[in-house]
Structure 1
Amino acid sequence: MEANRLINYLFLFGWLYIGIAQENNTEAFRYKLDYSIPESPAFAVLDANPTTVLRATAAQEVITQLATNFISGNNVSPGLAIDFNPYFNFGGRLQNIEEYRTKYWSRFLANLQLSLATINATDFPDDMLFSGGLRMTLWDSKDILYNKALGESIDRELLPKEDPGPHHHDPGTIVENNALKIAYEKAKKAYRQQKGGALSIGYAVAGRARNNAFKTDSIITYRHQAWISGQYDFGKNGISINSMLMYRYQHGNLSNSDGVIGGIALRKYGEKLIISSEIYHNGQTESINFGAYAEAYLIPNITLFASLKKEVNAITGEEEVLFKPGIKWNLSESKK
C-alpha cells in the first residue's frame, strides 16, 4: 500500500467519524466548547505538536489537526492527525448530565481520546511515519459537564432566553438564535475565569513504513512514550500553569535509547487568543529546550496555531529551530 493511500484512508476515516458523531449525537456533549483543545497524543510521539508540554484538560468528540514543521535549513514536515472519543462515537450513552457528574467510570469513558496521525519527516526522508495514541483525563474540575456551577452559568448563556412553547424546541436543548455567537463568547469567558485543575495520562507509539511501502516486512515501530500531565488555572487573571512528565523509549539503527522528558508551561487565556511559553528538559539528548506558542479563535470550530521552538534533535543530535504552524478543526459540535 502506498503512503499517499494511507493519508486518503485517514481522511475517509475522519469523515466516517464525523457522520457517526452527527447521527449518534449525545445531548451531554452539546455543551462542549471549542476552546483550549488538548494536543494530539499521536502527534506528540511524532514531535509534530506545536508544544511539548501537553495539556491535561477534558477531551472533545472529534478533532482533526493539520500541522507543518518548518525546520531551520528550510526542511518541511507536513502531517495530519485525527482525534476522537471512541465511547460516544461508537454509540455510548449517558442517561443525563447527573450520571456524568456522579459516576466516575462514565465520566472516564466520556473523556477517552483515541488518536491517529501520519507525517512526512526529514529525520527519515525515505519513510512515512505514522502513530497511534490514547489519552485519558482522570480529573478536570473545569469540565463544564462536571462542574455544576460553571455548567449552570454556561446554561444561562446557551439556552433560549424565552420559552419557545410546547410545540417548539424542548427548553432543555440548545436552539439556534441570533444571540448564540454572543452566548458562546460569554460561556468561554465564564470558563476562563473559573479556577480549577486537571490531570491526565497518555500513551503513544510511532512506526515507520520504510520506503513508503505499507507491507508486513517494511513496517517497524521506533518509539514508545507514556506521560502524565497536570495543570492549574488561577481564574480571573487568565493564567494557567501546566507541568508534564514523560518517559520515552526509542529504537535506533545502532542502539536503543530512553529518557525522561519533563517541563513546565505558562499560559495566558484571552478572549480570542491563548499564548504560552514552555521550558523542558529532554533526558535523551540531555538538553534544556524552550518555545513560545499562540493559538487564535477567529472562526467558530477553527483554531489557528503557531509555535517557535529551539530543541536538540533526538536522532541527529543537532540543535534545531522549528516554526510550527497549523490548524485544528473541532468537529464535536457545530456552532452557528
Structure 2
Amino acid sequence: MPTAITSTVRRIHRSAALATYAAVLLVGAVRSADAQATTRIPEIPAFVLLGVAPSDIARPTTARELAVGLSNVVDSTGQARQGVGINFQPWFVFGAPVTRRRYRESAAWYSLANLDVSFGSARSAGSDTTSTDVALGAKTVFFDRSDPLASAVVAREVGRVARALCPDTAFTDPTTNLSDAAKRLKCLVTKTDSVYDAAARRGDLRGAALSGAIAIGGRLPESRLDGLRYTGMSTWLTGSFPISRVGQFLLQTRFDRRETADSTTNVFSSGARATLGGRKANSFVEMLGQWSDRGSDRSTAKWSAGVEVHTAQDLWLAVGFGSTFATQLRKDPMRLIANVRWALASGPRLGADDLRAMP
C-alpha cells in the first residue's frame, strides 16, 4: 500500500489498541484524595504526585513543540513556573521507527511505543506560596496479548480489508475523486472496527497483560532550580490474565513514599479481582488492602463479592456484599436483607474488568 494509506491504517490500529487498553486498565486520577485511594494506574502519573492537574496541559507531537513546552518551565528570571503541565509520547515526538513487526515481536519496542511521559509543576501546599512542587512521571505497557495491533491474525485481516478498500490507485491516481477517497477511508474505519469485534468474539484478543508507571517528585524552595529537594515517589504495577474463556483475574499494586523534613512515610496498597461470566450471568470476588509504616491503623483489608443473573428482558437480579458491590450498583434500586444486598438492574453491572477505588 502507498505510504499515506499505510500511515492511516497504523493510526487506526493504534487508536483502537489504545482505546481497548484504556477502557480496561487506565483510569485517570488528578486529586490527591482520589490518588491515595486507588491502586489503578493513573492517566497522568506526574499529576497524581502533585495532587492537582495544571489547567493548561501541553501535549506536543513534534520535537519543536516539546522544546517550546519545556521552555515554559522556567521564566525569564531563571525561576520555575507554577502550573505547567506536559504530557507526550516519545515515539511520536522523535519519530522512532516502530514498525508493525517490531511492535508485535519485540518487548522493548512494544514498551517504547506505549511509553507516556509527563511533567508538572504546582504551587507548594500550605502557607509557603513561593516554593514550587515538580514531578516527573512515566507509564507504559510491557506486554498485552489482547492488543489488536499486536495480533498477527488481526493485522492480516485488517491488511486484507485495507487492500480491498484502498488499492494502490485509490490515492495516487490524479483523477481520483476526493469525496470517493474520503468514503473509502470512512468505510475502512468501519470495517476495521468489525474486524476487531469479530476477533474479540472469537477470543483472539484474550490474553495476559502487564503495565506499570512511576512518578518522582521534588520541591524547589523559592522556586529556585538549584535548591531541588526530593519529596517522594509513587509506583504502580498492574497485571491481568484470562480465566479460561469466561473470566479474568486482575492484580494491581501501588507503593507510595513521601518525605518531609521531619519524617518519611511508606504506604503499600494492593487489590485483586476475579470476574467470571457471560451474557446470562456474572460474578466477581475482590480483595483490597493497604499497609503503612505510620499511624494508629497501619493496615486495612476489605473484600467484596457478588453474583448477577439475567432473569428477564432488561432485568438483572444481583446479590452481594461489600463496598465494591454497593458502588457498582449504586444507581439501581437496592435493599439490605440479612446483611446481604439485593438489587434489580436493567443491564449487567458486575462484568467490569477494573478494580474499584479503595474507600
TM-score w.r.t. the length of structure 1 is 0.54
- Cα gap change, 1:259 to 1:269, in 2 (>3 Å): same
2:117 paired with 1:111: no
- Cα gap change, 1:259 to 1:286, in 2 (>3 Å): same
CA contact (8 A) 2:39 2:269 kept: no
Structure 2: distance between partners of 1:221 and 1:293: 39
Give the match's secondary structure for 1:107: helix
2:26 paired with 1:39: yes
Structure 2: distance between partners of 1:103 and 1:309: 33
CA contact (8 A) 1:55 1:230 kept: no
Counterpart of 1:244? 252
CA contact (8 A) 1:48 1:79 kept: no
Measure how far apart 1:105 and its partner are.
2.8
- Cα gap change, 1:216 to 1:97, in 2 (>3 Å): closer
Counterpart of 1:53? 39
Structure 2: distance between partners of 1:93 and 1:221: 35
Structure 2: distance between partners of 1:135 and 1:205: 12
Q: For the aligned residues, what is the CA RMSD?
A: 4.9
Structure 1: distance between partners of 2:250 and 2:168: 46
Measure how far apart 1:310 and its partner are.
5.0
2:193 paired with 1:184: yes
Counterpart of 1:287? 300
Query: Which one-letter code corresponds to 2:231 in the other structure?
Result: Y
Structure 2: distance between partners of 1:188 and 1:50: 36
Measure how far apart 1:197 and its partner are.
0.6
Measure how far apart 1:225 and its partner are.
2.4
CA contact (8 A) 1:112 1:135 kept: yes
Measure how far apart 1:182 and its partner are.
6.5
| Counterpart among 194, 197, 201 of residue 208 in structure 2 | 197
Give the match's secondary structure for 1:205: strand
In terms of fraction of residues, the more helix-rich structure is: 2
2:122 paired with 1:148: no
Deviation sequence 1:136-158 (CA, Å, 0-9, x none)? 3322212223221233345566x
2:48 paired with 1:79: no
TM-score w.r.t. the length of structure 2 is 0.51
Gaps of 5+ in 1: 1-24, 57-62, 69-76, 271-275, 295-306, 312-336
Give the match's secondary structure for 1:231: strand
The more displaced of 112-121 and 147-156 is 112-121
Measure how far apart 1:256 and its partner are.
0.8
Structure 2: distance between partners of 1:150 and 1:45: 38
Structure whose CA Rg is larger: 2
- Cα gap change, 1:203 to 1:161, in 2 (>3 Å): same
* Equivalenced residues, count: 248
CA contact (8 A) 1:35 1:188 kept: no
Structure 1: distance between partners of 2:87 and 2:33: 16
2:238 paired with 1:229: yes
- Cα gap change, 1:181 to 1:27, in 2 (>3 Å): closer
Query: Which one-letter code corresponds to 1:287 in the other structure?
Result: T
Deviation sequence 1:237-288 (CA, Å, 0-9, x none)? 4x43321233322114531121322212457999xxxxx9964322124223
Counterpart of 2:348? none
- Cα gap change, 1:258 to 1:87, in 2 (>3 Å): same
Query: Which one-letter code corresponds to 1:187 in the other structure?
Result: Y
Gaps of 5+ in 2: 1-6, 55-84, 174-182, 279-283, 293-297, 303-322, 330-354
Counterpart of 2:95? 91
Structure 1: distance between partners of 2:118 and 2:103: 23
